């Protein structure tokens, strides 16, 4: 099966990128592209007279204004009611948000879609608003609260996946391509950023006293405080039985119980002092841990240091250090993945540097302050270089939930109530319905209390087959 897609003469590589992601990467459909003189993207099957014509607004604006604020969508709350198009159409959300164009769709042998389907997808996948209107926190991260999706109340919806679901329906109804409605098994991926494999304070007695006091006065965990004291005695002898951060035995046992393959990311160099932790990936105490994780069938990768996001040489250096550790431990893996420390990201450079260093994928794609679908999708996809204006080989594997986002008083501060579980389940159900992967980030150092462990285990039991 091959499609013919006609695009406006003024469109550029941005549209070609979206067509490749949508049709080749997501739907695995081959296509050819030709140009025409209309403000629309027309999709048809070769040799067939039926067509689907999508109105273009975004790429016309892009051709006139480039990467400037004129191409950003307005904050109009416009939706198309998908239930009004066809009573047989099924989806989780029937109110499909419109970013560009108008909320109209007329089905037939020559179907007309009046909203900008492919421009919206580029806006979401490229995260171009982070470059045009950057609103940054103290760690120079784009703030999820200021994102277009959050301001429209849409961050908890996988909009790209919803658009793809609707496209499948159109392809079935208009071009007789039928795989719409096939059930997908739920998929989950649990990942752990190893910021602190051991509880260490860098020699600070004050930090230790504060942690001990917090165990008793804030967390109400006297047992944890006792373990912290015992750890002072036993850890110098490489015995981490009482280390509150060395939770890997519990972590790995739960991954095994629920038959989940995890991903563990290790910091390989220090570019920012204590922020990058108090350990070296080359220390002997980590050899057994890394080998044990790998031998259990889990993925290991690089946790890019705090200041690496703007340094191509540093990103390459950390990958080499990681590869040297793998060689030392006789661990053979294929392609290597990365996640940036603190989820820091510079949308003008980081993806290019990771791509140049030969990483297969990155999984930094989530907001620190909010859980949800930063890119509008729970699917992996090849990233776009806003700097070089081209599709990269580097895949993005977006994060949907992070422990700190949910629980930190600085961010969502949801706590451990039943409402938090309902919030998580709703995100999981949306991910599952539209065929994505429910990726969560939970640190080994965020399992101090029984409430932490119970919540993580609740998420794990939602699991389905792992995405290979």
Average pLDDT for 170-192 = 81
Q: In what order do the strands lie in the sheet with 101-106?
A: 30-36, 2-8, 40-45, 51-55, 110-115, 101-106
User: Is a pLDDT exceeding 50 seen at residue 467?
Assistant: no
Average pLDDT for 379-399 = 98
The pLDDT value recorded for residue 465 is 46
The pLDDT value recorded for residue 180 is 56
pLDDT confidence band for 181 (50 / 70 / 90): low
The pLDDT value recorded for residue 22 is 97
pLDDT confidence band for 179 (50 / 70 / 90): low
Domain range list for the chain: 2-175, 188-198+245-460
Q: Which of 70-84, 122-136, 224-238, 406-420 has the lowest mean pLDDT?
A: 224-238
Tens digits of per-residue pLDDT, 257-272? Answer: 999 999 999 999 999 9
The pLDDT value recorded for residue 338 is 98
SS (H, E, C) the chain: CEEEEEEECCCCHHHHHHHHHHHHHHCCCEEEEEEECCCEEEEEECCCCCEEEEECCHHHHHHHHCCCHHHCCCCCCEEEEHHHCCCCCCCCCCEEEECCEEEEEECCCEEEEEECHHHHHHHHHHCCHHHHCCCECCCCCECHHHCHHHHCCCCCCCHHHHHHHHHHHHHHHHHCCCCCCCCCCCCEEEEEEECCCCCCCCCCHHHHHHHHHHHHHCCCCHHHHHHHHHHHHHHHHCCCCCCCCCCHHHHHHHHHHCCCCEEEEECCCCCCHHHHCCCCCCCHHHHHHHHHHHHCCCEEEEEECCCHHHCHHHHHHHHHHHHHHHHHCCCCCCCCEEEEHHHCCCCCCHHHHHHHCCCCEECCCCCCCCCCCCCCCCCCEEEEECCCCEEEEEEECCCCEEHHHHHCCCCCCCCCCHHHHHHHHHHHHHHHHCCCCEEEECCHHHCCCHHHHHHHHHHHCCCCCCCC
pLDDT confidence band for 225 (50 / 70 / 90): confident
User: Is a pLDDT exceeding 90 seen at residue 365?
Assistant: yes
Average pLDDT for 298-305 = 98
CA 16, chain centre distance (Å): 23
Average pLDDT for 387-396 = 98
Q: Which of 86, 84, 79 is nearest to 162 (CA)?
A: 79
Average pLDDT of the chain to the nearest whole number = 93
CA angle 62, 67, 69 (to 5 degrees): 95
- Percent of the chain whose predicted confidence (pLDDT) is above 90: 82
User: Is a pLDDT exceeding 70 seen at residue 344?
Assistant: yes
User: Is a pLDDT exceeding 50 seen at residue 249?
Assistant: yes
The pLDDT value recorded for residue 182 is 58
User: Is a pLDDT exceeding 90 seen at residue 227?
Assistant: no
User: Is a pLDDT exceeding 80 seen at residue 203?
Assistant: no
Tens digits of per-residue pLDDT, 53-75? Answer: 999 999 999 999 999 999 999 99
188-198+245-460 folds as TIM Barrel (3.20.20)
Q: Which of 86-95, 147-156, 319-328, 392-401 has the lowest mean pLDDT?
A: 86-95
pLDDT confidence band for 466 (50 / 70 / 90): very low
Take residue 314 and report the two structure tokens written for it: 């540093």
User: Is a pLDDT exceeding 50 seen at residue 86?
Assistant: yes
Average pLDDT for 159-163 = 97
What backbone torsions phi and psi does residue 235 show, to the nearest 5 degrees?
A: -65, -30
The pLDDT value recorded for residue 201 is 81
The pLDDT value recorded for residue 370 is 98
**Exposed e or buried b per residue across 213-243, where buried means at least 16 C-beta atoms within 10 angstroms of its C-beta:** ebbeeeeebeebbebbeebeeebeeeebebb
């Amino acid at each position: 099966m091959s499609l013919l897609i006609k695009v406006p003469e003024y469109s550029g590589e941005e549209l070609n990128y979206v067509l490749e992601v949508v049709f080749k990467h997501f739907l695995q459909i081959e296509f050819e592209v030709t140009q025409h003189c209309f403000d629309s993207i027309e999709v048809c099957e070769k040799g067939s007279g039926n067509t689907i014509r999508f109105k273009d607004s975004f790429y016309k604006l892009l051709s006139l204004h480039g990467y400037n604020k004129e191409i950003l969508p307005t904050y109009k709350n416009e939706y198309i009611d998908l239930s009004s198009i066809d009573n047989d159409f099924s989806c989780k959300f029937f109110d499909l948000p419109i970013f560009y164009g108008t909320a109209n769709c007329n089905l037939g042998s020559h179907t007309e879609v009046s909203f900008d389907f492919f421009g919206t997808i580029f806006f979401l996948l490229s995260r171009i608003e982070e470059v045009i209107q950057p609103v940054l926190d103290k760690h120079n991260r784009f703030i999820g609260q200021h994102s277009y999706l959050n301001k429209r109340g849409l961050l908890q919806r996988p909009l790209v996946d919803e658009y793809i679901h609707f496209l499948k329906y159109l392809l079935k109804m208009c071009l007789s391509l039928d795989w719409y409605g096939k059930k997908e098994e739920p998929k989950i991926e649990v990942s752990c950023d190893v910021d602190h494999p051991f509880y260490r304070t860098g020699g600070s007695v004050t930090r230790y006293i504060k942690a001990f006091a917090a165990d008793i006065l804030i967390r109400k965990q006297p047992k944890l405080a006792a373990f912290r004291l015992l750890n002072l005695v036993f850890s110098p002898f490489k015995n981490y039985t009482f280390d509150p951060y060395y939770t890997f035995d519990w972590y790995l046992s739960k991954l095994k119980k629920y038959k989940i393959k995890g991903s563990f990311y290790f910091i390989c160099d220090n570019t920012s002092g204590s922020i990058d932790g108090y350990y070296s990936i080359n220390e002997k105490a980590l050899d057994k841990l890394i080998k044990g994780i790998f031998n259990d069938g889990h993925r290991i990768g690089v946790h890019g240091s705090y200041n690496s996001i703007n340094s191509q040489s540093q990103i390459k250096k950390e990958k080499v250090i990681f590869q040297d550790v793998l060689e030392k431990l006789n661990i053979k893996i294929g392609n290597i993945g990365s996640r940036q420390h603190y989820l820091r990201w510079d949308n003008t450079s980081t993806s290019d540097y990771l791509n140049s260093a030969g990483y297969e994928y990155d999984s930094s794609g989530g907001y620190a302050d909010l859980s949800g679908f930063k890119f509008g999708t729970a699917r992996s996809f090849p990233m776009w270089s806003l700097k070089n204006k081209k599709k990269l080989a580097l895949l993005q594997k977006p994060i949907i939930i992070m422990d700190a986002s949910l629980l930190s008083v600085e961010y969502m501060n949801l706590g451990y109530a039943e409402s938090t579980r309902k919030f998580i389940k709703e995100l999981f159900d949306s991910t599952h319905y539209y065929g994505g992967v429910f990726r969560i980030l939970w640190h080994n150092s965020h399992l101090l209390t029984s409430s932490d462990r119970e919540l993580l285990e609740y998420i794990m039991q939602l699991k389905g087959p792992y995405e290979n």
